[in-house]
Structure 1
Amino acid sequence: MDYSSMRLTAAASSIVVLLTMGSTVSVSAAETEIFGIKLGAPLTLPICQLSIPAPAARSSNRGIGSRAFNKLTAPPPEPLKATPPSTGLCVAPGTTNMAVGNTEFGPGEYGYLVFATAEFPAWVAPIGMSIGAGAGDAFSLDGAGGLVLLDNGRVIALRFNTSGFEAEPRVMELLKRKFGSPGSQKAVTWNNDLGGSRESISAQWRAPDFFADYSSVVQAQAMRAQGLSGGIGFLNIGNDLGKQVLQPASKEAEF
């Protein structure tokens, strides 16, 4: 697979996979790094290595018509697999168009963040649970941790799935340590099919050319399937351009 057209810049150095734990409340995109990724700057992560999984062994019939039968019953080929780095993060560039918010990103305009296996944050949920790959992306996303969105090669937003209620205390702790208290926060009540209820958190941070939005549970169906102990949330962090992409401003009807 040729990624020469991708606008993702590879760097030889590894990055530190920890949220910066500074207590500065005054935040701007120009000084904000998440997992070593700086908002508004070119993405400088190594490109993930892609490997081809070994094909599964299968039995084949012999005789008249067997070739056509075997072809029809053969499992689809295994996709390329993004191999996690030994440390830090790598990026697996998206290979097709994918809609995020009200914007469609093409190849080279987004990528999947893949954590080193031993450094995968416990609060990050598997990407396929709600973000998913762009239809037709030709690789497996085992181990992927989030999306990075680009504009002219510069990072405008990061998007992570979170593991619902279970992750809520840890994510709020990290966000408050890094960005201070949220500018707004509210509780959202969820009810399951058995008459039980539980509250999740919706919190927002705002500063010049910076935003962070966290919802600890956003998918009712997933929560019902897992009981009130589950659910899936999201964390979006970016600059003003990224906010426009992920949360387009609504306008009154014009006459």
Structure 2
Amino acid sequence: MRFTAAAGSLVVLLTISTTVPVSATETDIFGITLGAPLTLPVCELSSPAPAAARSNIGLGARAFNKLMAPPPEPLKAMPPATGLCVAPGTTNMAVGSTEFGPGEYGYLVFATDEAPAWVAPIGMSIGAGAGDAFSLEGAGGLVLLRNGRVIALRFNTTGFEAQPRVMELLKRKFGSPGSQKAVTWNNDLGGSRDSISAQWRKPDFFADYSSVVRTQAMRAQGLSGGIGFLNIGNDLGQQVLQPAANKEAEF
């Protein structure tokens, strides 16, 4: 009986020693804690400037003006004075392999003077879901929720330009990646450049970084540009944000 108890204790000890826990620091990303409720303030929305008044003399002029008037501009999500705010999505939006509804995702907007240089402008990288009643400007990201708790964050990055800085930050926070490879990009002039694909895995935690992904817009930017992505989340978040397969691109 004593031997059985000792053996059981040894098994527990080995299990603990070989399982690397996820620290509180690692699960805190820009003050957002994975697995916890999102506590960011809601972004303020501002109305667009009113259109210049047109002449309404005569029924014909009014009908013509109505026909030619541009569609009304949506409300604009304003950056906070400091830190981050969240603009909740108002419609269904497909992300990864799952569709998220209102209240299950939101747009993260950085304070203008505090936005990391490696984060791509939100309108360029993510944009608003079809039907969301506001526009997005400045740097930001996407937050995904289940039952009111954060399961994943997604940031699009400024491609090759951001690659050294993002890898430095990720290694400082999460240690060396569990896997890493180079993806070669070629152009028609015989030039090439390697981008990085790196992954971190721990119990109920993942981080996936791809410094350049293949997009139609990137083809026009040549080797100097590109858009990358950084996904961070827990196991549930990983299920809905599987990274796209990296391919060698020719453009």
**TM-score under structure 2 normalisation?**
0.84
User: Aligned residue for 2:235?
Assistant: 240
Secondary structure of the 2:223 match is coil
Q: Shift in Å at residue 27 of structure 1? A: 3.1
> What letter is aligned with 1:37?
I
Structure 1 Cα separation of the partners of residues 111 and 143 of structure 2: 16
User: Aligned residue for 1:89?
Assistant: 84
C-alpha RMSD of the superposition: 1.8
Q: Is 1:32 aligned to residue 23 of structure 2?
A: no
Structure 1 Cα separation of the partners of residues 59 and 47 of structure 2: 32
Verify the 8 A CA contact 2:77 2:136 in the aligned structure 1: yes
Q: Is 1:146 aligned to residue 141 of structure 2?
A: yes
Secondary structure of the 1:160 match is strand
Cα distance change of structure 1 residues 60 and 194 upon mapping to structure 2, 3 Å threshold: farther
Q: Shift in Å at residue 196 of structure 1? A: 1.7
> What letter is aligned with 1:216?
S
User: Aligned residue for 1:176?
Assistant: 171
> What letter is aligned with 1:242?
G
> What letter is aligned with 2:165?
R
Q: Is 1:75 aligned to residue 70 of structure 2?
A: yes
Secondary structure of the 1:40 match is coil
Q: Taking CA–CA contacts closer than 8 Å with sequence separation of 6 or more, which of the two structures ends up with the larger relative contact order?
A: 1
Structure 2 Cα separation of the partners of residues 193 and 133 of structure 1: 34
Structure 2 Cα separation of the partners of residues 197 and 92 of structure 1: 39
> What letter is aligned with 2:121?
P
- CA deviation map 1:24-64 (0-9, x unaligned): x8535795100000000000100111110112326446334
Cα distance change of structure 1 residues 222 and 28 upon mapping to structure 2, 3 Å threshold: farther
> What letter is aligned with 2:184?
T
> What letter is aligned with 2:164?
P
Verify the 8 A CA contact 1:96 1:135 in the aligned structure 2: yes
Q: Which moved more, 1:167-176 or 1:184-193?
A: 184-193
> What letter is aligned with 1:27?
V
Structure 2 Cα separation of the partners of residues 146 and 224 of structure 1: 23
Verify the 8 A CA contact 1:47 1:92 in the aligned structure 2: yes
> What letter is aligned with 2:71?
P
Structure 2 Cα separation of the partners of residues 164 and 101 of structure 1: 20
Which one has a larger percent helix, Structure 1 or Structure 2? 2
> What letter is aligned with 2:79?
P
Q: Which moved more, 1:165-174 or 1:224-233?
A: 224-233
Structure 1 Cα separation of the partners of residues 97 and 121 of structure 2: 23
Q: Percent identity?
A: 88
Structure 2 Cα separation of the partners of residues 244 and 144 of structure 1: 26
* Larger Rg computed on CA atoms: 2
> What letter is aligned with 2:116?
P
Verify the 8 A CA contact 2:205 2:234 in the aligned structure 1: yes
Structure 2 Cα separation of the partners of residues 59 and 191 of structure 1: 52
User: Aligned residue for 2:113?
Assistant: 118
Q: Shift in Å at residue 139 of structure 1? A: 0.4
Q: Is 1:227 aligned to residue 237 of structure 2?
A: no
Structure 2 residue ranges without an equivalent (≥5): 1-19, 244-251
User: Aligned residue for 2:60?
Assistant: 65
Q: Is 1:137 aligned to residue 136 of structure 2?
A: no
Structure 1 Cα separation of the partners of residues 153 and 181 of structure 2: 22
Verify the 8 A CA contact 2:26 2:174 in the aligned structure 1: no
Aligned residues: 224
- CA deviation map 1:81-107 (0-9, x unaligned): 111110000000001110001111011
